[in-house]
Structure 1
Amino acid sequence: MAWLRFILMGTGFAITILVLVPVQYIFLKTGLGPSAKTPMLFHRTVCRLLGFRIHVHGDMAKGRPLLLTANHTSWTDIVILGSLRKMAFIAKAEVAKWPLFGMLAKLQRTVFIEREKRGKTHHQASEIALRLAAGDAMVLFAEGTTSDGNRVLPFKTSLFGAAQVAIRDANAETVTVQPVAIAYTRIHGMPMGRAHRPLVAWPGDVPLGPSLIGLLKEGAVDVDVWFGEPVVIDGKSDRKALARTVEERVRGMVQTSLMGRDLVGTQESGEQPILKAAKNG
Structure 2
Amino acid sequence: MRTFIASIKIFLLIAYTLSLYLIYLVVYAFLWLFKLPYEPLRNLYMYSWSQGMCAFLNIKVKTIGEPPKAPFFLVSNHLSYVDIIPLYLNLKCTFVAKKEVRSWPLLGFMVKTMGVIFIDRSRKRDVTRVNEILSKSLNKYQGIILFPEGTTSAGEDVLSFRPSLLDYPASEEIPVYYSTIQYRTAEEKGDLPANESVCFFGARDPFHKHVLNLAKTRRIDCTIRFCNKPVQCSDRKELAQKLHSGMSGIFEPTS
TM-score (norm 1): 0.79
Deviation at 1:18, TM superposition (A): 2.5
2:75 touches 2:145 (CA, 8 Å); kept in 1? yes
Deviation at 1:221, TM superposition (A): 1.1
The amino acid of 2:225's aligned partner reads W
Q: Which residue of 2 aligns with 1:68?
A: 74
Deviation at 1:11, TM superposition (A): 2.7
1:189 touches 1:222 (CA, 8 Å); kept in 2? no
2:180 touches 2:226 (CA, 8 Å); kept in 1? yes
* Unaligned ranges ≥5, structure 2: none
Q: Which residue of 1 aligns with 2:13?
A: 13
Measure the CA separation in 1 of the matches of 2:140 and 2:8: 40
Measure the CA separation in 2 of the matches of 1:85 and 1:231: 15
Measure the CA separation in 2 of the matches of 1:84 and 1:247: 21
Instruction: Return closer, same or farther for 1:108/1:60 CA change in 2, 3 Å cut-off.
Output: same
Measure the CA separation in 2 of the matches of 1:199 and 1:78: 16
Work out which of the residue numbers 37, 49, 65 in structure 1 matches 2:44.
37
Deviations 1:6-60 (A, max 9, x none): 1331232122122111112122221178233112211221122122111110121
2:67 touches 2:90 (CA, 8 Å); kept in 1? no
Q: Which residue of 2 aligns with 1:77?
A: 83
2:155 touches 2:254 (CA, 8 Å); kept in 1? no
Q: Which residue of 2 aligns with 1:98?
A: 104
Q: Which residue of 2 aligns with 1:148?
A: 154
Deviation at 1:156, TM superposition (A): 0.9
Deviation at 1:164, TM superposition (A): 4.1
Deviation at 1:133, TM superposition (A): 4.7
The amino acid of 1:239's aligned partner reads R
Over the aligned positions, Cα root-mean-square deviation in angstroms equals 2.6
Q: Does 1:244 align with 2:241?
A: yes
Work out which of the residue numbers 52, 61, 67 in structure 2 matches 1:54.
61
| Number of equivalent positions | 247
The amino acid of 1:27's aligned partner reads V
Within 5 A, what are the aligned runs for 1:214-233?
214-233=213-232
Within 5 A, what are the aligned runs for 1:184-203?
184=183, 186-188=184-186, 190=188, 196-203=194-201
Deviations 1:80-127 (A, max 9, x none): 212222211110001111234323322321101111200121111111
Deviation at 1:138, TM superposition (A): 0.7
Measure the CA separation in 2 of the matches of 1:177 and 1:40: 23
Measure the CA separation in 1 of the matches of 2:192 and 2:12: 30
Within 5 A, what are the aligned runs for 1:171-210?
175-184=174-183, 186-188=184-186, 190=188, 196-205=194-203, 206-210=205-209
Measure the CA separation in 2 of the matches of 1:67 and 1:219: 34
* Unaligned ranges ≥5, structure 1: 168-173, 260-281
* Secondary structure in structure 2 of the residue aligned to 1:36: helix
Identity %: 26
2:182 touches 2:224 (CA, 8 Å); kept in 1? yes
The amino acid of 1:218's aligned partner reads T
Deviations 1:116-159 (A, max 9, x none): 20012111111112102565211100100111111110111000
1:87 touches 1:138 (CA, 8 Å); kept in 2? yes
Deviation at 1:196, TM superposition (A): 4.8
Q: Does 1:24 align with 2:24?
A: yes
2:231 touches 2:242 (CA, 8 Å); kept in 1? no
